Amino acid sequence: MDRPVRIAVVGDVDERLVGELRQLPLTPEVRPLSSVVGDTELLMRFQPDVLLARLADDPSEDVGAVKLLQRLWPALAVGVLTDARGEVALAPVAKRLSAALVVHPGPAGQLAAAIEQLLHGGDRPRPELFVDLAHGLADEINNPLMFVSGHLQLLQAQLSAGGDADRCGQVQAALQGLTRIQAAVDRLRLLSEAADGPRRREQVDLAALLSRAVAARTPDMPNATVEMPEGAQVVDGDREQLALAISAIVEFADEVAAIAAHSHLELEATDGALRVRLLVGGQGLSTWRLPNTFEPFYPQRLVRGQSHGLGLFLAQTVVHGHHGQATARRQRDGTLQLDFLLPAMATAPSA
């Protein structure tokens, strides 16, 4: 999209919402208006991509005005604004309008996720449902995993004391398998924590994290090409979460490089943000559904048999938690373009 994304915010809304929208890394053009009914002409002149409407207590006139705008402008994405208390009551109204419910105020990253879903469409459930699932799976698996691991460690100690090297080696192999399962459980738990935003904040150099992830890649494999600027590229955030997000992006880029015509990663500064962009071209992309890009395990339709089906969703969750945005677009030549944007800092990281 050549021009900035345009968002109209209509009705009696919290001023903080307009400010938060303007601070999104995609730097949308945001215009607050008083009424869907009274400002229909202004809305038509503004031509928003997204309409966020706080409906009146009696929403019948507002619903009619929104439906009129949708008929005149089928590409318009509509979100019905509410707080947590009105979510249930307004759900039927939003359904009548084929609109999304946008809850504000909400958890870190929820607003960016809602805007992205409105812009790109799709019937994907809200990200917090995936996050809850990840948290539940981590808790469900962890207790029996720890129980089995403890018994295997005890058995290994007994076999080692008895000099049974063969069986001790078998138990060690089983423990290594459990370690890999534990790593997957830890990733699920960190994913659920990342949805709440950074646990701690410091100045983090994204260029250093990207360099480290690239250096850790498997050698002699078809890896993605990487381009980054000189010097530190600093954001304010959680170092552990950001490192895992960058590693997940690099892993996915490398997996795609093994089967695609090209896979290229670049880190660059934009106006007020740092952007990690992945460009992928090749077979299989013609059937790729953009709205499903960040769904858990959807990427494995392209890179079957790989073990990082949560990678893009993890990266998106971390970026949202840091008040950034993650988007997927298709270029004119069919290339898949994934952008991960984080608010930049003007200062260099401390030593």
pLDDT single digits (tens) 40-68: 888 888 888 899 988 887 888 888 888 88
The pLDDT confidence band at residue 233, using thresholds 50, 70 and 90, is very high
For residue 345, the model assigns a pLDDT of 74
Lowest-confidence segment of 71-75, 134-138, 285-289 by average pLDDT: 134-138
The pLDDT confidence band at residue 351, using thresholds 50, 70 and 90, is very low
Distance in angstroms between the alpha carbons of the first and the last residue of the chain: 39
For residue 207, the model assigns a pLDDT of 94
Task: Judge whether residue 204 has pLDDT over 90.
Answer: yes
Task: Judge whether residue 304 has pLDDT over 80.
Answer: no
**Residue 80: CA atoms inside 13 Å, Cβ hemisphere, count?**
25
For residue 249, the model assigns a pLDDT of 94
For residue 130, the model assigns a pLDDT of 65
For residue 349, the model assigns a pLDDT of 46
For residue 339, the model assigns a pLDDT of 93
The pLDDT confidence band at residue 292, using thresholds 50, 70 and 90, is confident
- Residues ≥6 apart with Cβ < 8 Å to 17: 9, 52, 81, 104, 111
For residue 36, the model assigns a pLDDT of 84
CATH architecture, range 6-106: 3-Layer(aba) Sandwich (3.40)
Q: Would you kindly state where each structural domain of the chain is located, as residue ranges?
A: 6-106, 128-194, 202-343
Task: Judge whether residue 238 has pLDDT over 60.
Answer: yes
The pLDDT confidence band at residue 118, using thresholds 50, 70 and 90, is confident
Task: Judge whether residue 105 has pLDDT over 70.
Answer: yes
The pLDDT confidence band at residue 28, using thresholds 50, 70 and 90, is confident
Lowest-confidence segment of 138-147, 227-236, 241-250 by average pLDDT: 138-147
Between residues 218 and 11, which one has the greater pLDDT?
A: 11
For residue 202, the model assigns a pLDDT of 93
In three state form, how does the secondary structure of the chain look? Answer: CCCCCEEEEECCCCHHHHHHHHCCCCCCEEEEECCCCCCHHHHHHHCCCEEEECCCCCCHHHHHHHHHHHHHCCCCEEEEEECHHHHHHHHHHHHHCCCEEEECCCCCCHHHHHHHHHHHCCCCCCHHHHHHHHHHHHHHHHHHHHHHHHHHHHHHHHHHHHCCHHHHHHHHHHHHHHHHHHHHHHHHHHHHHHCCCCCCCEEEEHHHHHHHHHHCCCCCCCCCEEECCCCCCEEEECHHHHHHHHHHHHHHHHHHHCCCCEEEEEEEEECCEEEEEEEEECCCHHHCCHHHCCCCCHHHHCCCCCCCCCHHHHHHHHHHHCCCEEEEEECCCCCEEEEEEEEECCCCCCC
For residue 350, the model assigns a pLDDT of 42
Provide, rounded to the nearest whole percent, the portion of the chain with pLDDT above 90.
18
Task: Judge whether residue 243 has pLDDT over 90.
Answer: yes
Asked if 66 and 36 count as a contact pair (C-beta separation under 8 A), the reply is: yes
Domain 202-343 classified CATH 3.30.565.10?
yes
- Please give the mean pLDDT across all residues of the chain: 82
